Every structure is written in structure tokens, then in C-alpha cells.
Structure 1
Amino acid sequence: MPKTILVVEDDKFLRELIVRKLKEEDFNISEAIDGEDGIKKIKEEKPDLVLLDLILPGIDGFEVLSKMKEDMSLAQIPVIILSNLGQKDDVERGFKLGVVDYLIKAHFTPGEIIEKVKGALK
């Protein structure tokens, strides 16, 4: 059975590009365009992995992570951050909140992002 990935990303172009690449690899995909929708879908769908932007309208990605970690039914879902925030403090904060990987958008191609997703699901 294919794994389900929730892509939480407000940039339409990037979200559609990542979704297309993930579908090519036979993943089931769910999408959210902001933090509130992301939290709602995480609770309802319990995806196998969340690909999470940090800069989102409303609730940001760090808040999404905090809410996931507070809920034992969600705390074990692996999260990969995909963000333009590359400062050391942001990266450390992400790992302290339990992310499995922290990817800076400008440093990774869509193909490399897919490889990171596959690696996190093994």
C-alpha cells in the first residue's frame, strides 16, 4: 500500500512541483496551504510523513511541529522541514522539535527532496 505524504507549503508553484514528483513515485499525496489546514489534515489523515514549510500564513511551521509533539497520536509521524529559513538557530529549533531532516529550499532539487522522503520512510 502506498505511503501518504502531507505537503504543507503555501508556495503554489513549489507545492505543485513537489506533489507531481511524489506522485511519480507512487505516493498518496495530501496538500495543505497553511498551518491550520496542515494541523487539521495531520489529525484527520495521520499521514506517513509530513513535508513542512516553516513560513506559512497564520500558524507557522514551528507551531505545527509543537502541536504535533503535544499529541501522542501525532508525535511519531516523521517530519521533514523544507524552508528558506537556514539560520543555525532555526535548524537547531527544528531538530529539537523532532524533525528527521531539515532541507533548505535553495540547496535541494525536487529529486533530492524525494530521495530524502524515501530515506525517512525506510
Structure 2
Amino acid sequence: MRSILIIEDDPTIQKALSEVMLSEGYKVYTSFEADGGLEKVANNKPDLILLDLILPGKSGFEFLKEIKNSPSTSSIPVVILSNLGDEDEVRQGLKLGAVDFLVKADYDLNEVVKIIKKYFPKK
């Protein structure tokens, strides 16, 4: 079973994303902040990460740098889901290694599912 780590500090959004991913047949891990996300990556090696950029403590950009600079985790696809829609933030996220970037105000949960299926089909 494919697994997804959701790093999102808004409990409502995290719950909604978790529920839709579970209903699509994915195993789901969650964290409300980056350091907890790094721990989940180390312990669970998810197949894909959904990452918010504005998090308590360490930012999503810092998390992304750490993941992409480690040989054991650099190949995990990271999709950024953020309220930041500024072109510079999008460019920075993609430059740091994210495979996709969705602005929260501009997408619905079905779009997130489509993006995930693009990176691996459900088994």
C-alpha cells in the first residue's frame, strides 16, 4: 500500500486531506509541524509528501531543503499545498525540489487526488 505524509498545521485541512487519501486506499501519516514530519519520514519512509509551507517552528521550505539534501529521502516526491501563491514562492518551492505546487484557495480535494495519482497510481 502506498503511503502519504501530510504536513499541515490546520487541523480541518489535515483531516479533510487524510480522509480523502484514506478513501482512495493510501496509508496516511500526519504531522502538524516540520520537525514531526521529519521524524515521520525517518520512521515511515512515505511514498509522497503533501507539504504546507507556513508551519509552526521550521518552515515548509526548510523541511523541503532537509528532505532533498538527504540521500535517503531525496527521491520522495513532495507536493506543496500552501496559501502562498506568490510566483517567487512557487519558483522557490520547485527549485528546492518540490514536484508540484497547489495554492489552497485555487484547488479542491479531487485536484489533490489527481496530482497524487500522477506520481503513482493506486495499487
- TM-score above 0.5, yes or no: yes
In the other structure, the counterpart of 2:93 is 94
Which runs of structure 2 are paired with 1:1-122 in the superposition (5 Å)? 2-122=1-121
> 1:120 offset after TM fit, Å?
1.8
5+ long unaligned stretches in structure 2: none
> 1:69 offset after TM fit, Å?
1.4
Identical counterparts, % of pairs:
40
| Cα deviation digits, residues 37-76 of structure 1 (max 9, x gap) | 0111111111000000000000110000000111100000
Distance in 1 (CA, whole Å) between partners of 2:75 and 2:27 is 19
Distance in 2 (CA, whole Å) between partners of 1:114 and 1:17 is 12
Secondary structure at 1:50 match in 2:
strand
Of 2-11 and 36-45, deviating more is 36-45
Distance in 2 (CA, whole Å) between partners of 1:119 and 1:11 is 25
* Number of residue pairs aligned between Structure 1 and Structure 2: 121
| Cα deviation digits, residues 95-114 of structure 1 (max 9, x gap) | 10111100000110011111
5+ long unaligned stretches in structure 1: none
Secondary structure at 1:7 match in 2:
strand
> 1:118 offset after TM fit, Å?
1.1
Distance in 2 (CA, whole Å) between partners of 1:43 and 1:96 is 23
TM-score normalised to the size of structure 1? 0.96
Look up the equivalent residue of 2:98 and give its one-letter code.
V
